[in-house]
Structure 1
Amino acid sequence: MHRLQTVALAALLSNSASAVPYAEYILAPSQRDLSPVNVYRTNGTVINAAGVTTSGSGSTIFNSVSAVTYDYTKNIGGLVSFIVSSSSDSEQYLGISFTESSMWISPDGSDATQNIAIDETLWFRITGPGNYSVEPLHDRGAFRYLNVYHNTTGNVTLSHLQTYFTAMPHFPDDGLREYTGYFHSNDEKLNRVWYAGAYTDQLCTIPSTSGNSLVDLDATDPNMPTVWWSNSTLTNGSSAFTDGPKRDKLIWPGDFAISVPGVFLSTDDAITVKLSLQQLFASQNTTTGALPWFAQPVYAFPENGFLNLGKVVFSFNYHLFTLLGLHNYWIYTGDDEYLQNNWNRFKLGLNYSLSFVDETGLANVTSSFDWLREGMGGHNIEANSILKHTLDVAVTLAYAVNDTSHIESWTNASTAIASAANILLWNDTASLYKDNDTTTSLHPQDGNVWSIISGIASANQSTAISAALAARWGPYGAPAPEAGTTVSPFITGFELQAHYLAGQPQRAIDLMRFMWADFMLDDPRMTNSTYIEGYDVSGALHYPAYADDARISHSHGWSSGPVLALSTFAAGLHVLNKTSWVAHPQPGNLTEVEAGFEVGYGSFAAEYLVTAEGVKYTFSTPAGTKGSLILDAPGCKGKISIVGSNTAGDGKVQRTEHGGGRDKGFHWNKQVENQEASSSPWKCGVWGPSPASQRSASDSTITIDGLAGGNYTVEITCA
């Protein structure tokens, strides 16, 4: 489906629902009152079970001990209510329970939010006709299947059953589908993957008063359903961005590192990100600078061991993820005031991280808390890669706030980390970094992908790491051996970025196709709409970090990495800040890619298209910005022509003065000779947040700098 030529994104993304591109892929509902779509299963004697579904008519009658499992066909979340039109007497009971996966449908309760056992069923005494509703403290943030049980003799007749959708509470009731971003390609799998990621992030945006309370966290009887509430207050606003809508329903900074960009690329929900980020900073130790493993709720009742643990636990990496969260927020909002207000907190936090650096030049991690991997500690490659990346980000932010006093020391520390990591941790035989300097056998997924993102790995090392990681893939995805037999969509989301940065977009695309689309969406145990937290390399829905498989979240923001991968890398829309960008498409074997998004300071759009003559790439960036165009040299002899809103010639920016000296046009033509043969229309190059020096001449890229924001058309014509 080919819709968009070079157009202004602002015109596309108006407030009219009909103007939202590719709205047919959006999974968010058009209004908040949702009825079940169909009947998944019945037990006992139920008359007209489908009567209360969207396609049903009439009433549903539960006779004696009976039950119906209703299917919404996708993950939703919210408060259930039902209307009883009649009952045989005033001592009838109906129970409500929930599950995300069909694996955990049970007559005894809901899938789990806590460490052991399933969650209790919500029972209603039916005293007569009327409307019955679940209390807000039992807001179930994610479920696909709704179970209705009748456990007494007699009968109850329902005339209506619905769920009030509570995600994105600050959005208008009819505005949940008003995306400010879009994606489309010639691959239907990837189209579904992008929109499922965006919807996952939406479900993770919950009412701020619906955080987990973990009432029964210390329960010990696996046969006794646990008590569950959702009544913690997480922010000082109406919404909060959590790791998951079922659990943990808390603000976790690790998730922010990958899901926050996806929020801006799909719904531009800046206020929720800001509120949630501020709660993380509000939990900072003002003496040491340590930031929390997760944000402490504004209000929590009752107190419990897990929330109390969060007050004292320090995670080296999650601390850094909060600092990176500030950077991500600033990139997409251009909110200099917010950055300035939190700058001292940022510096205090970064200085605390640097206090762990020892004579080796690497940080010596003393805390084992991370993303539930095993063995975190010592001179760890993941932790040091993230620290280096944060130091490089800090330099950028220092210039933004005009506080350059630490730039030299931060730059030196970054350089030292890269040097030491390559001396102490690089394993040339494995073409991977070791987890730390005390092991020879563990080559982690997390540390190796972060070595590429941070620029610790050179261009040649990045190519080798990408190949080594891909060689480890199993039928269900990329393994994380640092977490036993885990497949982590969280870390694999960063692996997607690493393959692009290593100049291997086809690996990223292949991984999204079979891991996210074929398994995480289409496996019948999944929700067909949102992404699971983690699972076993065998394909079993078992997350080795948990003893209770029913506890696994099937809607986890940290699994939404393809949103960033496809919009930023495949379509090439890299936003550096409110004034700077890079356009570098890496479509792999895709023949059509479109993406766009709108943020507070302007709109971005891009379209890549294989034509009969070669390739056409059009892109649009906001007025008042500047950027660079990076093209991977074509695998043919031909001509590259670029026309746009600036003026240049033969690869160098040239200006043509008109009246007041404003640039009126950009024209660039260059003949290209045969390049190394490639299976795709473009030969892959390298670009990313790592320094430009990471790129080598062998990357075969063509770069044009100093382009003013505007509309550009690139045509590559092969002879």
Structure 2
Amino acid sequence: MRHRTLALALVLVTGIAAIPADPAAAAHVRPWQSYVLGPESRLVQPVRVEGRGTVRVHGQAATLTTTAGRTPASVVLDFGQDVAGTPYLDVSKVSGSVTLQLVTGEARQFLRRPAATTTAVAATAGARQVTLASVANLEVGNAITIGGQVRVIAGFDPAAVTVDLDRPLSADVPAGAAVTSSPGAPASDEAPGLAGVGGPDTLTVTAPGRVSGGFHGGFRFVLLTLTGPGTISLSGAGVDFQAYRATPRDYRGWFLSSDDQLNRMWYAGAYTVQLNMKPAGLNGLPDERIYDGAKRDRSIWTGDLLVQGPTIINTLGDVGARYLKSSLEALFATQRADGALPGSPDFAKGRSPQGFPLFYSNNYSGYGARAAIDYYRYTGDRDYIVSRLPDLRRELAYNDSFLTAGNLVVSDDRDYWQATQTGAVTKYSIDYYILLREFAWLERTVGSAALAAEHDAKAEAIKTAVNARLWNPALGAYGQSTDHPDVLVEDANALALQYGFVPAARQASVLRALKTLWTPYGAILGPGLQDPTGHTIEPFGNGMETAGRFAVDDTAGAFALMRRTWGPMVDKKHPLYTGGLWEFKNSEGGVNRTTASLAHGWAAAPTVQLTQQVLGVSPDGPGYRTWSVQPRPGRLSWAQGVVPTAYGDIDARWTSARDKFTLRLSAPGSTSGTVAVPADRNDIVLVDGRGTRPAISNGYARFNLPGGAHTVSVLRR
């Protein structure tokens, strides 16, 4: 009977081999190149131009005329997605000398802000001029309400803080009376005090020709306002793109699947990090850097690098590695004498081009070390990591100072959502466990085996302590800390799943508890927990949860949370769409402040996880000298992609149907790895056409393979 079954399997595998190796060849499937968001040309033109006031728009050409006492003429240039660089205008005709105000924004809703102020002194009936506490966001031609009386702004004097009205007041207005104006004056949503770039540009135009503004780090919209009387004709406008402009030719890795929305997430994450990449020489800084956000803070942040590092190397290969290494060098250059690495080595460049090191949190110090270890894991750059090993050991010693005799971490620290947690904190303890495991891997590879063993032993003691003291049976999950054992938090429980803290018998309970934190827009941090600015949903933390769900094979849950959190971000009809992924959300799925970053590196978790968990390719040894391939298909019918490595490309593609699963893998000949494919004990597993009896556990057949081309087939019975 067994011979007959194998014979049947060989007949069936012939059918499997007939499946096209490249499903994208089917006419109804978009090629991966079509998802790439980087502009083809350095000079990028708007996709839409809309005017207000006396404006004539013809395609990308426009004529603006402003008349004294009326609404100033303005146009909004919409680039369809975030861009970065220097806006420019091609002027074909101008009457005399005119002044244009140029502001940029990622979200159109923040391009104009209503004014809200008060009267500074009392005004009497019949007055046509009123003194205010502020004239910020006022614009000639706006309606203004003063003490309940509606007038139109005819003019104002910023120095004297006075406003001229179109007609006299009909009643007295006391000092301190409310004053409001809508729709408000042009206003940028940039934060130049942090970023060192951006803010409104004032352009004086006296003759035809090209006029350029200053550098702006990340924006979808440009609002141009002809602030004073006159007429100007524009024959065109655009942006000189000055982030890293990656076209399909520049991608060294890619991903494609049977799910269009997931594909859009992967490429949005890639584009987000490209917008965050500062080329050498820009803004007076000679080196290449990976900033946290395109618009804000435009600083290197260690927590963001944990997501950005794998993203940038998996997508751009050597270029990404170069940017990551340069960013790490800026980090190590500001390491403190006690070993601490800053959360950001170059924060608030509004004070100087170089910024200053911000020692934001002890946890972020450990993130910096992990980012450096990740660089080695993905690149195999042994010389670099050996040169930095003493610095990394000093940082580890600093983090170790917060470990108590009870093997838990106590640190009045802020971490990524900017609120202090006290007591022995579950997440901080798990984070230190992760850091120790990373160091153990590093020491075994380039350092001391004895130190590696010490780190592993200390990590195990932390895991034991967390399970003994921080598990809360009433929650069915881990509590926030010893001070707050009854508070359910997303991040700690997500990391506990991802890094094997949760015994198998408790996994379902933790998954259920985490799901109570879900909203239609993603998972909240936890009951009562939020950033001081009001955001409650962190893509950084949601990425921890999707990783945790993948780790325990809750692929359906991981996909469902991805769709809630990142689905709106990749929907071109969403009013906050930028082509990038957002820093955070509030409880209604929007953002709470104008400076919210809508292209933020720490949100790129889907790009990393779709490559490593869905396509299934991740590094084990440095530079992928050894690798693992473990697809988690969920309900997808196929996925394929390429991962660049130090030894050459790894090409993986799989198809999944009710009765069969097929993985085709090509890896560099000088490498080797472990393959795990979905299977149970009743299935037939063939490797390169030969029947095999692999070890099967937790729903996967596992075996080792050398580099080269392989086909693995699972026939489901």
Please point out which of 330, 335, 347 is paired with 1:284: 335
Specify the alignment match of 1:113 in structure 2: 191
Specify the alignment match of 2:209 in structure 1: 130
Contact 1:28/1:177, CA 8 A, preserved across alignment: no
Contact 2:191/2:199, CA 8 A, preserved across alignment: no
Please point out which of 549, 554, 557 is paired with 1:504: 554
Specify the alignment match of 2:388 in structure 1: 342
Contact 2:616/2:630, CA 8 A, preserved across alignment: yes
Specify the alignment match of 2:293 in structure 1: 244
Q: Using the TM superposition, give the Cα deviation of residue 130 of structure 1 relative to its aligned residue in structure 2, in angstroms.
A: 2.2
The 2-side partners of 1:42 and 1:254 are apart by: 41
The 1-side partners of 2:552 and 2:374 are apart by: 22
Specify the alignment match of 1:44 in structure 2: 53
Contact 1:84/1:159, CA 8 A, preserved across alignment: yes
Contact 2:578/2:599, CA 8 A, preserved across alignment: no
Contact 1:463/1:503, CA 8 A, preserved across alignment: no
Name the CA shift for 1:61/1:483 in 2 (closer, same or farther; >3 Å): closer
Name the CA shift for 1:261/1:104 in 2 (closer, same or farther; >3 Å): same
Please point out which of 645, 654, 665 is paired with 1:608: 654
Name the CA shift for 1:307/1:369 in 2 (closer, same or farther; >3 Å): farther
Q: Which amino acid aligns with 2:189?
A: D
Q: Does 1:164 align with 2:240?
A: yes
Q: Which amino acid aligns with 1:272?
A: Y
The 1-side partners of 2:662 and 2:606 are apart by: 24
Contact 1:607/1:619, CA 8 A, preserved across alignment: yes
Show structure 1 runs of 5+ residues with no match. Answer: 13-19, 53-58, 211-230, 543-548, 645-666, 673-684, 686-696
The 2-side partners of 1:456 and 1:432 are apart by: 11
The 2-side partners of 1:32 and 1:620 are apart by: 35
Name the CA shift for 1:322/1:565 in 2 (closer, same or farther; >3 Å): same
Specify the alignment match of 1:27 in structure 2: 37
Specify the alignment match of 1:143 in structure 2: 219
Specify the alignment match of 2:463 in structure 1: 418
Render the CA deviation track for 1:290-312: whole Å, top value 9, x for unaligned: 11020137x956359x955x44x
Name the CA shift for 1:133/1:77 in 2 (closer, same or farther; >3 Å): same
Please point out which of 102, 106, 127 is paired with 1:100: 106
Specify the alignment match of 1:255 in structure 2: 304
The 2-side partners of 1:240 and 1:339 are apart by: 19
Render the CA deviation track for 1:455-510: whole Å, top value 9, x for unaligned: 33333334432232123211111111232660001111121111000111111112
Over the residues paired in the alignment, what is the CA RMSD in angstroms?
2.8
The 1-side partners of 2:373 and 2:470 are apart by: 28
Specify the alignment match of 1:383 in structure 2: 428
Name the CA shift for 1:115/1:474 in 2 (closer, same or farther; >3 Å): farther
Q: Does 1:404 align with 2:445?
A: no
Name the CA shift for 1:539/1:248 in 2 (closer, same or farther; >3 Å): same
Q: Does 1:490 align with 2:512?
A: no
The 2-side partners of 1:608 and 1:472 are apart by: 33
Name the CA shift for 1:460/1:712 in 2 (closer, same or farther; >3 Å): farther
Specify the alignment match of 2:601 in structure 1: 557
Contact 2:103/2:188, CA 8 A, preserved across alignment: yes
Specify the alignment match of 2:699 in structure 1: 700
Please point out which of 292, 315, 322 is paired with 1:266: 315
Name the CA shift for 1:350/1:642 in 2 (closer, same or farther; >3 Å): same
Q: Does 1:86 align with 2:93?
A: yes
Specify the alignment match of 1:663 in structure 2: none
Specify the alignment match of 1:711 in structure 2: 709
Contact 2:193/2:350, CA 8 A, preserved across alignment: no
Name the CA shift for 1:83/1:567 in 2 (closer, same or farther; >3 Å): same
The 2-side partners of 1:571 and 1:332 are apart by: 17
SS at match of 1:599: coil
Specify the alignment match of 2:166 in structure 1: none
Q: Which amino acid aligns with 1:262?
A: T
Paired residues in the alignment total: 608
Please point out which of 237, 254, 273 is paired with 1:201: 273
Specify the alignment match of 2:116 in structure 1: none
Specify the alignment match of 1:431 in structure 2: 476
Percent identical among aligned pairs is 25
The 1-side partners of 2:243 and 2:19 are apart by: 31
Contact 2:191/2:296, CA 8 A, preserved across alignment: yes
Name the CA shift for 1:710/1:5 in 2 (closer, same or farther; >3 Å): farther
Contact 1:4/1:607, CA 8 A, preserved across alignment: no
SS at match of 2:475: coil
Q: Which amino acid aligns with 2:94?
A: S
Name the CA shift for 1:556/1:521 in 2 (closer, same or farther; >3 Å): farther
Q: Using the TM superposition, give the Cα deviation of residue 369 of structure 1 relative to its aligned residue in structure 2, in angstroms.
A: 2.7
- The TM-score, its normalising length taken from structure 1, stands at 0.80
The 1-side partners of 2:193 and 2:60 are apart by: 37
Q: Using the TM superposition, give the Cα deviation of residue 375 of structure 1 relative to its aligned residue in structure 2, in angstroms.
A: 2.8
SS at match of 1:406: helix
The 2-side partners of 1:414 and 1:288 are apart by: 22
SS at match of 2:51: strand
Q: Using the TM superposition, give the Cα deviation of residue 380 of structure 1 relative to its aligned residue in structure 2, in angstroms.
A: 1.1
The 2-side partners of 1:514 and 1:120 are apart by: 33
SS at match of 1:550: coil
Specify the alignment match of 1:575 in structure 2: 619
Specify the alignment match of 1:546 in structure 2: none
Please point out which of 245, 253, 272 is paired with 1:181: 253
Q: Using the TM superposition, give the Cα deviation of residue 105 of structure 1 relative to its aligned residue in structure 2, in angstroms.
A: 2.0
SS at match of 2:41: coil
User: For structure 1, which segment, 605-614 or 385-394, has the greater mean C-alpha deviation from structure 2 after superposition?
Assistant: 605-614
Specify the alignment match of 2:488 in structure 1: 443
SS at match of 2:522: coil
- The TM-score, its normalising length taken from structure 2, stands at 0.80
Specify the alignment match of 1:67 in structure 2: 74
Name the CA shift for 1:123/1:162 in 2 (closer, same or farther; >3 Å): same
Q: Using the TM superposition, give the Cα deviation of residue 114 of structure 1 relative to its aligned residue in structure 2, in angstroms.
A: 6.2
The 1-side partners of 2:281 and 2:530 are apart by: 33
Q: Which amino acid aligns with 1:30?
A: E
The 2-side partners of 1:66 and 1:314 are apart by: 44
The 2-side partners of 1:329 and 1:5 are apart by: 35
Contact 1:196/1:531, CA 8 A, preserved across alignment: yes
SS at match of 2:580: coil
The 2-side partners of 1:701 and 1:568 are apart by: 16
Name the CA shift for 1:555/1:625 in 2 (closer, same or farther; >3 Å): same
Specify the alignment match of 1:676 in structure 2: none
Render the CA deviation track for 1:342-372: whole Å, top value 9, x for unaligned: 1111111011111211111112113x23113
Contact 1:489/1:558, CA 8 A, preserved across alignment: yes
Specify the alignment match of 1:225 in structure 2: none
